[in-house]
Amino acid sequence: PGGTQGAADAALIWLQRHQSPDGSWSAAGFSEQCKKNQCDGPGNALYDVGVTGLALLCYLGAGETHQEGRFKETVKKGLVFLMDLQEQSDDGCFGERIGMNWIYNHACAALALAEAYGMTEAKAFKEPAQNGIQFVLQAQNPYAAWRYSYPGDGDNDSSVTGWMVMALKSASLSGLKIDKTALENAIGFIEEVTDPASGRTGYTGMGEQPSRLPSMATLFPSEKSESLTAVGMLVRIFGGRTLDDDPMISKGADLLARKLPEWNTETGTIDYYYWYYGTLAMHQVGGPRWEKWNEALKKALLEKQRLLEHEDEYGSWDPVDPWSVDGGRVYATALNCLSMEVYYRYPRVFGGAGRTDVKVAPALKAEGPK
């Protein structure tokens, strides 16, 4: 991948330098760790658990574990923080349930612990990882998907569902127990909110545009993004659907190919969440559409990463997308790092670390960098 590996490496260095002493990453308070100048771009403290999960996923995706490598202490402290946090609940949940969006925190933390277990088979991770996944399964609505409540209250949305499906897929490939019907039911909901004519996946209703915070709707028009279409494609693929048997995957890829990543602060096209899910989904689809997407993504992200070594921001990305107001610089940097790792992420996470007994789903085998 050339520059993408270097970009991911610089992001791992920034994340390491801005980890809190307790092992977490602080969406709002990360700049307390700054040594040179003060980084800007704080997010909301309610998302500390979620950005901690995302930061850990960056290390795991690069093959860095708590057992070896120059980041092993960083990874170990982060995983211990999450496990200690989970011990404070009696149902496997990571963190407090404040507001509506706490469930995103749980999904990201559960995903990180499942992948850590899958890579290392460390016994210490097995029970916490399984308990986290059990909570995901319990939060699912019967014969449907997920939203903000536990147990499910009948509301579903595609955004929460995407994160939950990723956690379940990781768990399954890591040798943890999941209920296979959970993925089928998730696909059923995605089909309900996907417009068969256009291929667009909606948020809570068929073919709707992606959601936006009211304060961000003008700056970042939702029609500039196909984030939930990308989520829909990924849910289908992770649930076992293929290009051959599900035409909506290809229809979705056509939509994404018409809205490629573009760094434009004037027109509101910057959307790290869209770019991450789009990169995951398009990488699975492969072919010319993936190549177009990949070139656009690299142009957008490689040129805009902060790379002046005398600045504390070195290795990070500025939090200038619609969700950075919540996640801040830690979120922006972690999500873009994950996009840079997509070339080798799945084989490393799901078939890596010397394991031969993990079956890597054919759809998840990386085809190597283009």
Placement of tokens 């991450």 in the chain: 276
Q: What is the pLDDT of residue 351?
A: 39
Q: For residue range 93-108, what is the model confidence (pLDDT) as tens digits?
A: 999 999 999 999 999 9
The residues, any chain, with a CB within 8 Å of residue 266's CB and separated by 6 or more, are: none
Q: What is the pLDDT of residue 320?
A: 98
Does pLDDT of 362 surpass 90? no
The residues, any chain, with a CB within 8 Å of residue 8's CB and separated by 6 or more, are: 58, 61, 62, 337, 340, 341
Cross-strand partners of 194: 201
Name the band, by pLDDT with cuts 50, 70 and 90, for residue 346.
low
Average pLDDT over residues 241-246: 93
Q: For residue range 253-286, what is the model confidence (pLDDT) as tens digits?
A: 999 999 999 999 999 999 999 999 999 999 999 9
CA distances from 180 to 170, 237, 238, 277 (A): 13, 14, 11, 22
Q: Would you say the C-alpha torsion 366, 368, 369, 370 has a positive or negative sign?
A: negative
Domains, the chain, ordered by start? 3-364 (1.50.10.20)
Does pLDDT of 357 surpass 70? no
Placement of tokens 């708590």 in the chain: 66
Q: How far apart are CA 132 and CA 121, in angstroms?
A: 16
The residues, any chain, with a CB within 8 Å of residue 105's CB and separated by 6 or more, are: 46, 47, 48, 49, 50, 53, 94, 95
Q: How far apart are CA 80 and CA 73, in angstroms?
A: 10
Q: How far apart are CA 231 and CA 90, in angstroms?
A: 31
Average pLDDT score, the chain: 93
More confident call, 140 vs 363: 140
Spatial contact of 109 and 82, defined as CB atoms under 8 Å apart: yes
Q: What is the pLDDT of residue 158?
A: 99
The one-character DSSP state at 210 is P
Does pLDDT of 42 surpass 90? yes
Q: What is the pLDDT of residue 2?
A: 60
Spatial contact of 109 and 48, defined as CB atoms under 8 Å apart: no
